[in-house]
């Protein structure tokens, strides 16, 4: 798989099975994404209402040609009384992991958000044990900013997370992602 062949696009109805697989099959989601069972109709309901695209959150498919590899997500996080940033995430099918697709998808999502919104910052959080995602974020141009103790709850206990961030100035200074 060539990472430069990776693209993002809106979620089509045929893609919902991929997203549902990553939501509802623990072995597909992997240890850092699986957070337990939730509303089995939620993804399709949100897609029928919004296409999974909105002002404050959204999902885009990660594809290579016509092949869906997973999806990226983004949501607003308040950073002050009148300001916010984007928090992003990625979920890839097991067969797409470890080949640069996550790095490329996150780069593309950052470029998209900076091109089409006024946010100055994009951030991502990942568990401290998720070394692969930490490497992907660093390769995508993010800066490791710190550890957030007891940040997320998964598999019966609270877990520390690493916060990564990138700001517009980083992209302008370093050139296109």
Q: Tell me, what's the pLDDT at 38? A: 87
Quick check: 4 pLDDT over 90? no
How far, in Å, CA of 19 to CA of 40, rounded? 11
Whose tokens are 């990660």? That residue is 62
**Whole-structure pTM value:** 0.93
Q: What is the pLDDT of residue 7?
A: 98
Structure confidence at residue 2 (pLDDT): 61
Question: What local confidence, expressed as pLDDT, does residue 171 receive?
Answer: 83
Domain boundaries of the chain, sorted by first residue: 3-174
Backbone angles phi, psi at 15, to 5 degrees: -80, -15
pLDDT, position 143? 98
Per residue in 60-75, pLDDT (tens digit) is 999 999 999 999 999 9
Percent of the chain exceeding pLDDT 90 equals: 87
Superfamily of chain region 3-174: Gcn5-related N-acetyltransferase (GNAT) (3.40.630.30)
**167 sits in which H/E element:** strand 157-167
Lowest pLDDT segment from 34-38, 56-60, 108-112, 157-161 = 34-38
In DSSP notation, 75-140 reads: EEEE-SSS-EEEEEEEEE-GGGTTSSHHHHHHHHHHHHHHHHS--SEEEEEEETT-HHHHHHHHHT
Query: Which stretch of 26-40, 119-133, 143-157 has the lowest confidence by average pLDDT?
Result: 26-40
Torsions phi, psi for 140 (to 5 deg):
-80, 0
């Amino acid at each position: 798989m060539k990472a430069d062949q990776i693209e993002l696009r809106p979620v089509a109805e045929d893609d919902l099975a991929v997203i549902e697989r990553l939501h509802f099959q623990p072995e597909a989601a992997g240890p850092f994404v699986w957070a337990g069972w939730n509303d089995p109709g939620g993804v399709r309901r949100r897609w029928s209402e919004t296409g999974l695209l909105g002002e404050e959150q959204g999902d885009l498919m990660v594809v290579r040609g016509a092949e869906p590899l997973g999806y990226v997500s983004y949501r607003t996080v308040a950073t002050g009384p009148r300001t916010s940033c984007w928090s992003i995430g990625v979920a890839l099918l097991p067969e797409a992991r470890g080949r640069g697709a996550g790095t490329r998808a996150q780069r593309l999502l950052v470029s998209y958000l900076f091109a089409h919104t006024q946010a100055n910052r994009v951030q991502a959080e990942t568990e401290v044990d998720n070394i692969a995602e930490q490497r992907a974020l660093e390769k995508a141009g993010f800066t490791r900013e710190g550890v957030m103790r007891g940040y997320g709850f998964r598999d019966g206990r609270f877990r520390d997370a690493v916060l990564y961030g990138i700001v517009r100035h980083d992209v302008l200074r370093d050139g296109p992602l």
